[in-house]
Chain A
Amino acid sequence: MAEVVVESLHKSFGAVEVLKGIDLAIADGEMMVVLGPSGCGKSTLLRLVAGLETVTSGEIRIGARRVNDLEPKDRDIAMVFQNYALYPHMTVYDNMAYGLRNRRVPRPEIERRVQEAARILGLGELLRRRPRELSGGQRQRVAMGRAIVREPEVFLFDEPLSNLDAKLRVQMRHEIRQLQARLGTTGIYVTHDQVEAMTLGDRLVVMNEGRIEQVGGPLEVYERPASLFVAGFIGSPPMNCFPARLGEDRARILLDGRSLPLAGPVAAEAGAELVVGVRPEHLEPADGGPLVLAVDWVEILGADTIAHGRIGEEVRICVRLPGATSIAAGDRLPLAVPPERLHLFDPRSGRRIDEKA
């Protein structure tokens, strides 16, 4: 068990700076999910913690140890790879035992740990099989087993579920979460799938272009996105964002001559240009609502319906309505927003504008 601390971490590949100063503290036993689009540096961050890449500058600590210059095997970590990276010529048993043998763990102890891991993961019947005789989900479990038997301080997951089909992914997600919680091992989980991130993480790190955009609990990230990037990245369909102006009393926004009240005065100058964000699921149909959506396209998904359209001339938004509704293209749908569901961002920095303290 150990905490993982990353301090002003930089990583460059040649002239390309992939990580531009990452500061992150992961508590002992916490599951931290690193989320971001491809190329944001999330995998590089994980590989730096694993020791598969060398640090350009900054510091990584696992427990109290500075691990910058340690080989992966000396860092007391275990990693689960995206394509599982099972040794194809070894049986399931040998795959799990290999790391322990290299560590000169006594044979009865290896036997005990592998059997234990096989029991936890339901692999008992498969120990004599080779990876190619296993299904995707089973291979995933073996990769997990290989990590568990090491009894490491930290689990590192590099998009471990992205090669599985949707149904299996939900199941494995649940299993990974339970397993990590039960073992109480610190975990770092890299993914680009926001559903995985929301359901698995104690906390999320949202990364973009080598920087951390926001660190916080899943709900916090959803309800109070710290930047326009986070607002657009978390949530599906993504948050509607459109320009507006702050009213004179700083407690309402003006949009095409219409006015929307805010929950309270905000920390920006009166009359300032803003970007307003509102999630599709937070717009509610309301007779006489301040926003009128000219619907031009409807997606009926069964459990809910997504109506796309325009407000005024320019602004395109979409609305998520529960159930199958009778809305059709060409309808005009008046909408209201609860004031606390409006998010305001600075159009230049992209940062969130908070209520006045």
Chain B
Amino acid sequence: MVENRPFLTFVAHALLILGILVVALPIWIVLVTSSQAPEDVLTAPIPMWFGERLVDNYLAVLGRGLTRSSSGPVAPMMLNSLIMAVSIAVGKIAISILSAFAIVYFRFPGRMLAFWTIFVTLMLPVEVRILPTFEVVANLGLLNSYAGLTIPLIASATATFLFRQFFMTVPDELAEAARVDGAGPMRFFLDILLPLSRTNIAALFVILFIYGWNQYLWPLLVTTDERYYTIVMAIQRMVTAADAEPEWHFIAAVAMLAMLPPVLVVLLMQRWFVKGLVETEK
């Protein structure tokens, strides 16, 4: 704030710290839990400091899996999640940027209709169309496959609108200059539009990667084969293990592992965000 009022500064900081505590405390508890022996987790009070089994627990879930809920090792699940998240992010960006390119730079009949149809799909979350989509995927024989996991989630042009707005800020003269320079539409797209969009692409990649990584309901429906389980849905299966106490120390470790890649993506891509804000190209 611009004014220098000690009391306001105090209140602002207090609120911020409170907010951070609300977010950070559960994560802290999970992190601490993942380092305990099983019997320590279930005895009151909840441990607030690390136990001795941090490395053991993580190695166990990554390599062996959970013993009592008969879940397999987590490492392949993380790989599945990674494949799914990256496919969804890349696929969505590819589809969106191309459809935005078509809508902004080409005049064809039903152009605005096409745009609004795409736009309307934004208003339908996966959960609404989940039964028909499941039917289609099942009929196509895509259950228990990476294609079944990713394609139905790619097929909605979430980012079309964003790319459209960005393309409309690109001066028309740039397209005209490219035409005079002998670049056809695809050359213009690849040589000029795509490089100009890279900070937008980076931002969308982060959002869509997290969206894909955190998918829960859809993988739960289309996979019955353990080879295709993703980590987020696997956590749920571990919690509801049949006639046994959930192994909370392992589950906490898995939860931490599930959180890691999105955090990494955000941290790595942050540099691009800043670059995008500082550089005013166009």
Contacts and interface: CB of A to CB of B under 8 A. Distances in A.
A72 B173 contact: no
B182 interface: yes
B187 interface: yes
B186 to A, nearest CB: 12
A45 interface: no
Contacts of A132: 279-281
B179 interface: yes
Contacts of B177: 79, 81, 85-87, 146
Interface in B162-204: 171, 173-174, 176-183, 187, 191-192, 195-196
Given A79-B177, A81-B173, A81-B177, A89 B281 contact: yes
Contacts of B129: none
B282 interface: yes
A87 B192 contact: yes
Contacts of B282: 88
Interface stretch (A97-105, A250-258, A305-313): A97-105
Contacts of B178: 87, 98
A138 interface: no
A72 B187 CA distance: 15
A47 to B, nearest CB: 8
A98 B191 contact: yes
Interface string A68-103: 000111000111011101111100000000110011
Nearest to B195: A89
Given A73-B182, A102-B181, A52 B196 contact: no
A123 interface: no
Contacts of A89: 192, 195-196, 281
Contacts of A87: 174, 177-178, 191-192
B179 A71 contact: yes
Interface in A254-285: none
Contact of A85 (B174, B182, B195, B279): B174
Find the residue from A81, A88, A99 having the highest chain B CB count within 10 A.
A88
A50 interface: yes
Nearest to A83: B173
Contacts of A86: 177
A79 B195 contact: no
B197 to A, nearest CB: 10
B136 to A, nearest CB: 40
Nearest to A147: B180
A77 B180 CA distance: 8
Contact of A73 (B171, B173, B179): B179
B179 A52 contact: yes
A103 B187 CA distance: 12
Nearest to A104: B182
Contacts of B279: 132
A86 B50 CA distance: 58
Interface in A134-158: 146
A79 B180 contact: yes
Contact of B187 (A51, A52, A102): A102
B187 A85 contact: no
10 contacts: A52-B180, A72-B180, A78-B180, A81-B173, A87-B191, A88-B282, A99-B180, A99-B181, A102-B181, A132-B280
Given A88-B281, A99-B181, 5 more contacts: A50-B180, A72-B179, A72-B180, A82-B173, A98-B191
Interface of B: 171, 173-174, 176-183, 187, 191-192, 195-196, 279-282
